[in-house]
Amino acid sequence: MKFTIDIKKRPSWLVIALREVSSFFFSPVAYIVMALFLAITGFLFFSTFFLYNQASMRPFFSLLPILFAFFIPAMTMRLFADEKRTGTMEVLLTLPVTGRDVVMGKFAGSVVSIAVLLLPTLAYPLTISLVGELDPGVVAGGYIGSLFLGSAFAAVGIFASVQTDNQIIAFVTGFVICAALVFINSFLVLLPPGVVKFFSYISAGAHFENIARGVLDSRDFIYFISLSALFLLRTIIIVDDRRNA
Amino acid sequence: MIDVRQVTKYYGSFRAVNNLSFSIEKGEIVGLLGPNGAGKTTTMRMITGYLEPTSGTIEIAGETIAQNPRGVKRKIGYLPESAPLYNDMLVLDYLTYAARIQGVEDLDYVLSTAKTCGLYTVMHKGVGELSRGYRQRVGLAYAMLHDPEILVLDEPTSGLDPNQIIEVRNLIKEVGREKTVIISTHILPEVEMLCDRVIIVSDGVIAADEKTSQLQVKYGHSASLRVAVGSASFAELEQRMKAVDGVESVAKADIDEAGLTAVLVGFRDGAEIRPGVSKAVADAGWPLYEMAMQKNTLEDVFRDLTLGGAK
């Protein structure tokens, strides 16, 4: 018997990302999360869709930040917490990889999983376009923005996961940070005027609102990229700090 | 090959390893020995780069992990304690995953390593379904599949049944002919069987660092004499024994039979005390029940060194 397996050279982060993706879809958790996500978005979206009487995906995209704040930390909670709990962290970090390979691999894997999570929701715009005129540009922009929002929340979730070996704690930490980022702009009226501008800028909700409306502004994308970079860099520093591990 | 220089590791305020220094030459098989909590695993974790020392340096072939993380780590094959593995993967997938990260492109080498470790029949099984022995073998195959120069094995035979232990030992012996190997264990016969050299650690410091064959000669008496007599108290017996020329120590020994007193007599190396002892017993008029030479094992040396260190 002869095996034919392609093990040609790939960068380490990609090998780690592929393992994470296959491990995610190997477990039943992936399908529970996806089914739940579809059920909730489907219900919340279509229950208001006919009231608006508009061929628009805006109600869907407006829901997304808070749903992502819940679902994405649930997807990323195991990434480091589980490796720490089972001891495989020791195996992973003694392989010829750096903290950057590990964190970027897990991040890339999460982004792919989030894309797969969003994929079935494409049925909504397809259905709507059957009954009304939908602007494809706005929808495409919304989906691209959603992926950026999801990536930023995945970075937050990974950061939460590296703090602990308990998945529940990782989930709650990730959820609290993401929810805070979503809701800050709802509380702006309560804040002193001097800091409103600052908090409005760091609010994920405010930035995603533009995207949900169909306005693609580079500043919003820069915000999501910065948010991802901030949490990923912090995570890399924690993973690479073997002195206090 | 491996240079550990004045390495100290703190966990918070707890000092796990204290100013440890040793160096291991290419091709040596070194046993790292010590009671639980002595700092064996911490030392291995620092060599493999999982932990960084609080102070001191560790060089692998002249480089530290910080200088060249990928290159130095690629030289090492590591089996952590209790072989943690990804339970959701198949054995084959797990090994090819590791091979990819190690940059091994020759799949046949990976498969022959799996074969050497006796994994051919379980390649398509989930790692989570495997028994303890097979998990350990997957861990070993994983550690060796990139043909590393250095193997670091943390308690490679713990949790295995006697047959598996022998298999794994033979495997290590075979691989150890070409590689530098560090094994941690608290199974002493294993050290005598496998290792050229033993480093005994106790409370984070080195208690002994010797060739395996030299250890017994250098530390503790290589033999002691067990003597059991009737109708004498321990104090009386001790006094008589101490008077014999060449005797260095007398310790009370256990004996099951009632009315008898037994002692373990330690003596100067090379001294012949048996005629003197028998004469002393006869002079005192005690009936002699037992007189036997006991060769001290590595276990006695180990006890001496590690319990001494704890005081």
Bridge-based pairing of strands B223-230 and B260-267 is antiparallel
What's the rounded mean pLDDT across residues A108-126? Answer: 93
Q: Residue B293, Cα to own-chain centre: how many angstroms?
A: 26
Looking at chain A, the number of H-run helices and the number of E-run strands are 12, 0
Say which residue, B158 or A163, is predicted with more confidence.
A163
CA distance B116 to chain A (A): 17
Is the per-residue pLDDT at A189 higher than 90?
no
Distance CA B281, CA A73 (A): 80
CA distance A121 to chain B (A): 28
Please identify which residue in the block is written with the tokens 């180990």: B302
| Average model confidence (pLDDT) across chain A | 89
Residues of B in contact with A5 (CB under 8 A): 92, 96, 107
Amino acid letter, B99: A
Examine the pLDDT at B298 and tell me if it is beyond 50: yes
* Average pLDDT, integer, range B171-182: 87
Instruction: Enter the tokens of residue A50.
Output: 């006919």
* Spatial distance between the Cα atoms of B270 and B281, rounded to a whole number of angstroms: 22
Amino acid at B294: Q
B84-142 tens-digit pLDDT: 999 999 999 999 999 999 988 888 888 998 988 888 899 999 999 998 888 988 999 99
Q: Which residues of B touch A94 (CB under 8 A)?
A: 48-50, 73, 76, 78, 80
pLDDT (average), residues A200-216:
85
Mean pLDDT, rounded, for B228-242: 87
Is A194 domain-assigned?
Answer: yes
A5 lies in some domain: no
Name the pLDDT band for A21 (thresholds 50, 70, 90): very high
Query: From CA B206, how far away is CA B189, in angstroms rounded?
Result: 20
Which of B16-30, B112-126, B189-203, B206-220 shows the lowest per-residue confidence on average (mean pLDDT)? B206-220
The pLDDT score that the predictor gives to residue B219 is: 67
Query: Coil, helix or strand for B276?
Result: helix
| Residue A4, C-beta contacts closer than 8 angstroms, at least 6 positions apart | none
Mean pLDDT of chain B: 87
Cβ–Cβ below 8 Å for A97 and B70:
yes
Pairs of residues, one from chain A and one from chain B, whose beta carbons lie less than 8 Å apart? 87
Look at residue A190 and tell me whether its pLDDT is greater than 90. Answer: no
At residue B221 the predicted structure's pLDDT band, cuts being 50, 70 and 90, is low
Q: How far is residue B35 from each of residues B16, B106, B185, B213, measured CA to CA in Å?
A: 13, 40, 9, 21
Mean pLDDT of A122-139: 87
Between positions 133 and 152 of A, the ones with CB within 8 A of B are: none
Query: At A102, which amino acid appears?
Result: V
**pLDDT higher than 60, residue A193:** yes
The pLDDT value given to residue B311? 33
**Which tokens belong to A110?**
């999460």
Checking if the pLDDT of A192 tops 80, the result is yes
**Contact (Cβ atoms closer than 8 angstroms) between residue B17 and residue B9:** yes
Q: Angle, nearest 10°, between helix axes A167-183 and A204-213?
A: 70
Distance CA(A120)–CA(A125), nearest Å, equals: 10
B96 touching chain A per CB within 8 A:
yes
Which of B49, B107, B110 is closest, CB to CB, to A242? B49
B33, B191 contact by CB (below 8 A): yes
Give the burial class of B93: count Cβ atoms within 10 A of its Cβ; 0-12 exposed, 13-18 middle, 19 or more buried: buried
- Cβ atoms within 10 Å, residue A241: 11
DSSP β-ladder status, B288-295 and B180-185: unpaired
DSSP type of residue A79: H
Four-CA torsion A200, A203, A206, A210, nearest 10 degrees: 120
* Nearest residue to B172 via CA among B182, B162, B158: B182
> What average pLDDT does the segment B9-22 reach?
91
In this predicted model, what pLDDT tens digit does every residue of A66-86 receive, in sequence order?
999 999 999 999 999 999 999
Across the interface, whether the CB atoms of B54 and A243 are under 8 A apart is answered yes
For range A151-160, the mean pLDDT: 97
Which 8-state DSSP code applies to residue B287? P
Cβ of residue B19 closer than 8 Å to a chain A Cβ: no
> Structure tokens of B33?
């020995």
Give the residue, B183 or B190, on which the prediction is more confident: B183
Q: Which residues contact B270 (CB under 8 A, 6 or more apart)?
A: none
Inspect the interface and report whether the beta carbons of B80 and A91 lie closer than 8 Å: yes
User: Pairing between strand B260-267 and B150-154?
Assistant: unpaired
In a domain, A76, yes or no: yes
Whether pLDDT at B42 is above 50: yes
- Those of residues 45-74 in B touching chain A at CB distance below 8 A are 45, 48-54, 69-71, 73-74
**In the structure, what pLDDT confidence band is assigned to residue B256 with cuts at 50, 70 and 90?**
confident
Q: Which residues of A touch B76 (CB under 8 A)?
A: 94
CB atoms B84 and A243 under 8 Å: no
Q: What would the two tokens of residue B104 be?
A: 């091994």
pLDDT at residue A12 is higher than 50:
yes
Whether A90 sits inside 8 A of B70 (CB atoms) is: no
Neighboring chain A residues of B80 at a CB cutoff of 8 Å: 87, 90-91, 94
- Tens of pLDDT, residues B48-81: 999 999 999 999 998 998 889 889 999 999 999 8
- Identify which has the larger pLDDT, A191 or B130: B130
Q: What is the pLDDT of residue A10?
A: 83
Yes or no, beta carbons of A90 and B73 under 8 Å apart: no
A178: pLDDT confidence band, cut at 50, 70 and 90? Answer: very high
Give the mean model confidence (pLDDT) for residues B132-160: 89
A3 is a domain residue: no
Task: Tell me which residue of A6, A14, A95 sits closest to B107, measured CA to CA.
Answer: A6
ipTM > 0.90 (yes/no): no
Q: What per-residue confidence (pLDDT) applies to A161?
A: 96
Banded pLDDT at B47 (limits 50, 70, 90): very high
How many domains is chain A partitioned into structurally?
A: 1
Helix orientation angle between A204-213 and A58-76, rounded to the nearest 10 degrees: 140
Task: Determine the pLDDT at residue B216.
Answer: 67
Give a yes or no: residue A142 inside a domain. Answer: yes
> What is the pLDDT, as a whole number, of residue B222?
65
pLDDT of B24: 93
Confidence of residue A154 (pLDDT cuts 50, 70, 90): very high
Give residues with Cβ within 8 angstroms of A186, minimum separation 6.
Answer: A205
pLDDT at residue A146 above 90? Answer: yes
Domain that holds residue A152: 12-244
Contacts of B9 in chain A (CB under 8 A): none
* Amino acid (1-letter code) at residue B247: V
More confident residue, B58 or B258: B58
Which tops the pLDDT comparison, B175 or B54? B54
Q: What 8-state DSSP symbol labels residue B89?
A: S
Which residue of chain B comes nearest to A8, CA vs CA?
Answer: B105
Position B254 scores a pLDDT of 82
Percent of chain B predicted with pLDDT > 70: 95
Q: How far is CA B293 from CA A210, B38, B248, B272, in A?
A: 90, 32, 15, 11
A197 in reach of chain B (CB within 8 A): no
pLDDT of residue B309: 43
Q: Do A91 and B85 touch (CB under 8 A)?
A: yes
